[in-house]
């Protein structure tokens, strides 16, 4: 079997190695064997430690999986060979109080495909049947692979945690990334006034097509003042931050009184040095957000089926070109997701 594997001697900046001799996955009684048609890439694929999940070695990477069922375990109902499926990457027991309340990360059995067990950057992968979803109508298998982590994170931070309303202004930073593209659309659907921050003019035009009413270029020295002017100096109510504390000195002064900074990434580091007096004086709040669970993914998939969201795929590449894909991801020269195929 062919696929990408992360070896123990690699560091967090390395790209998984392509192998043509991976072992065939074993099928448990409550699992299905999926023939992978597409699996998106994420920055987290390159990290041996992510969100409390430690990767065992060697490990097949890949969290966002879409494909066709090849076989089913003896205890699996409602799924059959040949079904086209999208896989929820969040692993949990599915029945404890935390899982019932969409707090899968607090489940004692929490894990992530591609981290705590082999993922989808291979020709086949065995996954729990409870993690399967139907592919939304009108969405290709490649597009479906771009949905899970990006859209559930965006939905969780804006709807489940920030609880945005139509009277609010939301600024999406890193807006050309997969989470950013999803967050612009989730905020727009909620009726918010949506601002976006990106690096180039062509990305700005794409973000406007997704629903951003104003787009600011981070390359312009006065972009912060532009944001404040656009709000009548009041500031924005919510900032979506997929980058991390490296930009908090720029973000916190842009928040209106009682504004919320929603942090969902640590690409720029994980240690914060902030002006606590600013936070106190304006009663600001900072929320850490992890990817959403099954209920949130089900809600997102229903809305995609209704045409409310557009799935953004920058390009499709074969597993053998994973190194090129990750170079593109690191240089931020993409818009949306890169999806790998066997």
- Report the relative pairing of strands 17-19 and 3-6 from DSSP bridges: antiparallel
Tell whether 143 and 169 lie within a shared domain: no
What share of the chain has pLDDT > 90, as a percent? 77
Residue 226, domain extent: 151-288
| pLDDT at residue number 10 | 52
Tell whether 45 and 98 lie within a shared domain: yes
Q: What is the pTM of this model?
A: 0.94
CA 308 to chain centre: 18
> For residue 3, what pLDDT band results from cuts at 50, 70 and 90?
very high
- pLDDT surpassing 90 at residue 237: yes
> 237 lies in a domain?
yes
Tell whether 113 and 202 lie within a shared domain: no
Structure tokens at 180: 């950013």
> 262 lies in a domain?
yes
Residue with tokens 């993922």: 119
Spell out a b/e string for 216-231, using b for 16 or more CB atoms within 10 Å of the CB, else e.
bebeeeeebeebeebb
- pLDDT surpassing 80 at residue 133: yes
Tell whether 139 and 238 lie within a shared domain: no
Tell whether 28 and 79 lie within a shared domain: yes
Q: How many helices (H) and strands (E) does the chain have?
A: 10, 20
End-to-end CA distance of the chain: 10
Give 204 or 273, the one with higher predicted confidence: 204
pLDDT digits (tens, 9 = 90+) for 300-338: 999 999 999 999 999 999 999 999 998 898 887 899 999
Rounded mean pLDDT of 200-206?
A: 96
Neighbours of 97 (CB within 10 A): 9
Neighbours of 184 (CB within 10 A): 31
Neighbours of 256 (CB within 10 A): 17
pLDDT digits (tens, 9 = 90+) for 143-164: 999 999 999 999 999 999 999 9
> 303 lies in a domain?
no
Contact 292, 152 (CB under 8 A): yes
For residue 90, list its beta bridge partners.
Answer: 112
- pLDDT surpassing 90 at residue 292: no
Tell whether 164 and 275 lie within a shared domain: yes
What gap in Å lies between CA 276 and CA 338, rounded to an integer? 38
What share of the chain has pLDDT > 70, as a percent? 96
**What CATH number does residue 187 fall under?**
3.90.180.10
What gap in Å lies between CA 42 and CA 270, rounded to an integer? 17
Tell whether 112 and 136 lie within a shared domain: yes
| pLDDT at residue number 11 | 55
What gap in Å lies between CA 64 and CA 84, rounded to an integer? 14
pLDDT digits (tens, 9 = 90+) for 5-64: 887 765 555 678 899 999 999 999 999 999 999 999 998 887 766 666 777 778 899 999
Tell whether 180 and 168 lie within a shared domain: yes
Neighbours of 163 (CB within 10 A): 11
| pLDDT at residue number 325 | 92
Cis peptide before 294 (omega within 30 of 0): no
> 39 lies in a domain?
yes
Structure tokens at 198: 């990106």
Identify the burial level of 74 via C-beta atoms within 10 angstroms of its C-beta, where 0-12 means exposed, 13-18 middle and 19 or more buried: exposed
Tell whether 174 and 275 lie within a shared domain: yes
Contact 64, 115 (CB under 8 A): no
Residue with tokens 């995609």: 304
HSE toward the beta carbon, residue 44, CA cutoff 13 A: 27
Domain count, the chain: 2
Tell whether 87 and 20 lie within a shared domain: yes
pLDDT digits (tens, 9 = 90+) for 51-106: 667 777 788 999 999 999 999 999 999 999 999 999 999 999 989 999 988 889 89
| pLDDT at residue number 9 | 61
> 294 lies in a domain?
no
Tell whether 126 and 159 lie within a shared domain: no
| pLDDT at residue number 273 | 81
């Amino acid at each position: 079997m062919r696929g990408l594997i992360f070896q123990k001697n690699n560091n967090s900046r390395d790209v998984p190695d392509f192998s043509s001799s991976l072992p065939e996955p074993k099928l448990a009684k409550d699992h299905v064997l999926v023939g992978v048609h597409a699996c998106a890439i994420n920055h987290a694929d390159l990290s041996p430690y992510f969100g409390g999940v430690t990767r065992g070695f060697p490990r097949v990477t890949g969290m966002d999986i879409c494909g066709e069922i090849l076989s089913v375990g003896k205890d699996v109902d409602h799924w059959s060979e040949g079904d086209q499926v999208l896989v929820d990457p969040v692993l949990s027991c599915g029945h404890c109080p935390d899982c019932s309340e969409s707090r899968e990360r607090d489940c004692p059995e929490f894990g992530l495909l591609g981290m705590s067990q082999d993922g989808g950057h291979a020709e086949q992968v065995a996954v729990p049947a409870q993690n399967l979803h139907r592919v939304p109508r009108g969405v290709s298998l490649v597009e479906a692979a771009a949905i899970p982590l990006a859209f559930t994170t965006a939905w969780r931070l804006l709807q489940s945690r920030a609880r945005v309303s139509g009277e609010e202004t939301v600024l999406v930073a890193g807006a050309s990334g997969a989470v950013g593209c999803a967050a612009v659309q989730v905020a727009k659907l909620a009726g918010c006034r949506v601002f976006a921050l990106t690096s180039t003019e062509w990305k700005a035009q794409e973000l406007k097509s997704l629903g951003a009413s104003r787009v600011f270029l981070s390359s312009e020295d006065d972009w912060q003042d532009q944001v404040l002017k656009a709000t009548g100096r009041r500031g924005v109510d919510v900032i979506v931050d997929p980058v991390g504390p490296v930009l908090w000195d720029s973000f916190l002064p842009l928040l209106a009184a009682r504004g919320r900074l929603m942090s969902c990434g640590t690409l720029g580091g994980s240690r914060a040095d902030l002006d606590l007096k600013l936070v106190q004086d304006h009663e600001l709040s900072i929320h850490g957000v992890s990817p959403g669970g099954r209920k949130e993914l089900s809600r997102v998939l229903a809305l995609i089926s209704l045409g409310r969201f557009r799935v953004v795929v920058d390009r499709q590449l074969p597993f053998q070109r994973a190194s090129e894909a990750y170079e593109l991801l690191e240089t931020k020269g993409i818009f949306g997701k890169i999806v790998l195929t066997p």
